[in-house]
A and B are shown apart, each in its own frame.
Chain A
């Protein structure tokens, strides 16, 4: 039973995942996220990754109030029309599943930009529709990462995309192997057959506890 993946296993697992969950199927569509494509570095082999782009609505407390119909009049009266426009703003979220050579598991990287193309600050990211409510500790005024309590070690921070070197946010994958391994070792989770495909499916499930892979709508990159 695999708790970690080699690079070539990761590549194969991703390809099988894309084949199995390509988005045209109606069943399973809310269990496993779809719409991923496999990408490679332009001249160095072995640095491939999954990618997709998602458009998310920008959720703010005032937008939630508008939807509930509370305080609508007060908000409408305010001179600041940016609240109303922000409520309808669409954010662009580029999502990547890359190979972490250190931890020998997949890692989730992403960028989040507003409609002007500016990257969003951490406080907005943490409250965005990308994450399930209450799944992350508060950044506590920190602008560059979400840290574990009583530690200088981080959970979510900035880093360079391993293939392109462009800035991204990523989740530290240091505990991925333990969690996925635990699930895979449960006899009930083995449906027989493809161990690599199952690995990726379980990984998406585990990440899905924090990341809402079904928020927003997909679009072509």
Chain B
């Protein structure tokens, strides 16, 4: 991928076309969902046989944002008037076909990819792509021990903002870019998600997300400038408002660390420091990251052993030579995070 050199002030309009392309592909990504109401909970007089709703949901959206659409369908087609009166969305919760509770504060794309890798550990799993994620919708008795309370769109927004703030902090060592946004701008990010409007979201996100630059070169990374990669945060530099030091300020390679999380099948979520450039000056690649963090699943190249697992990012098997900095600028979720889902390879499969 390209190296990073000074460019003009950050804005969506001066972002190179390839960056915008991948951001749009990520934004426009959708997953097929099949949502079926738990038959035991269908209210009396419901029109049985129709309680299944199909939709292509945006990867960057959230389950609570789908609820109004699902509810409209159920009211129109399935429930009678009595049921319509008593149904309480705040008690709704979702489960996968296998009985796993779905977290409403996770982006839908992450829920889908996490399901894919969970299936990779099942003995009879067929590697299938693009099958709908089959969800069971429960209307009552949410398991409060395992789910966050209050699955409202407002609560979801707050969770989303918290993730953006964390991503901001990881990149720059402070949350000034996020807290520096006016409240209307902060709200604009969420409105972009709700309306699924790329331009509205990126109008604000371009102020806080690092970007790449158009030049392609095989030379080593630029020598340390006033906004050097490691020594201090670019925003601390007194001359960083413009001129030579300004353009580096938002470069994907000048972040302190890239916001990345690793999801394992049915395991805990791993989060560690992911610098964009390694100590030897080379760009930090996905392969190096996975080998360092999960050496048994991704043995080092000189060990002569094949990988036992693969990595999915935004639903795509990610090439091991992808640079972490580039992933952070182009294929992060709308909440700023690069979610790497690790699944086990089956017989006959290889990664890369």
Taking a contact as CB atoms under 8 Å apart, the answer to whether A152 and B161 are in contact is yes
- 10 more A-B residue pairs beyond the given contacts A102-B169, A152-B158, A153-B162, with a C-beta to C-beta distance below 8 A: A103-B166, A119-B144, A119-B149, A144-B154, A147-B158, A152-B187, A153-B175, A157-B162, A174-B165, A174-B175
Residue of A nearest to B169 (CB): A102
> A142 vs B179: C-alpha distance in the bound complex, in angstroms?
21
> A176 vs B148: C-alpha distance in the bound complex, in angstroms?
24
Taking a contact as CB atoms under 8 Å apart, the answer to whether A143 and B178 are in contact is no
Q: What residues of chain A lie closer than 8 Å to B150, measured between beta carbons?
A: 143-144, 158
A82 in contact (CB, < 8 A)? no
Please classify the interface of chain A as helix (H, G, I), strand (E, B), loop, or mixed, using the class held by over half of its residues.
loop
Taking a contact as CB atoms under 8 Å apart, the answer to whether A143 and B157 are in contact is no
Known contacts A153-B165, A174-B175; decide if A167 and B147 are in contact (CB<8 Å).
Answer: yes
Interface residues of A (CB under 8 A from B): 7, 41, 44, 47, 101-103, 118-119, 121, 142-145, 147, 150-154, 157-160, 162-167, 172, 174
B215 to chain A, nearest CB (A): 32
- Bitwise interface map of B from 158 to 171 toward A, beta carbon under 8 Å scored 1, else 0: 11011001100110
Q: What residues of chain A lie closer than 8 Å to B259, measured between beta carbons?
A: 102
> A129 vs B148: C-alpha distance in the bound complex, in angstroms?
22
Interface residues of B (CB under 8 A from A): 103, 144-150, 152, 154-155, 157-159, 161-162, 165-166, 169-170, 175, 178-179, 183, 186-187, 190, 259, 267-273
Q: What residues of chain B lie closer than 8 Å to A174, measured between beta carbons?
A: 165, 169, 175
> A122 vs B212: C-alpha distance in the bound complex, in angstroms?
42
Q: Per a CB cutoff under 8 Å, which of A7, A102, A158 touches B170?
A: A102
Q: What residues of chain B lie closer than 8 Å to A145, measured between beta carbons?
A: 155, 158
Taking a contact as CB atoms under 8 Å apart, the answer to whether B159 and A157 are in contact is yes
> A152 vs B178: C-alpha distance in the bound complex, in angstroms?
10
Q: Taking each of A101, A142, A147, A172, which has the highest tally of chain B beta carbons within 10 Å of its own beta carbon?
A: A101
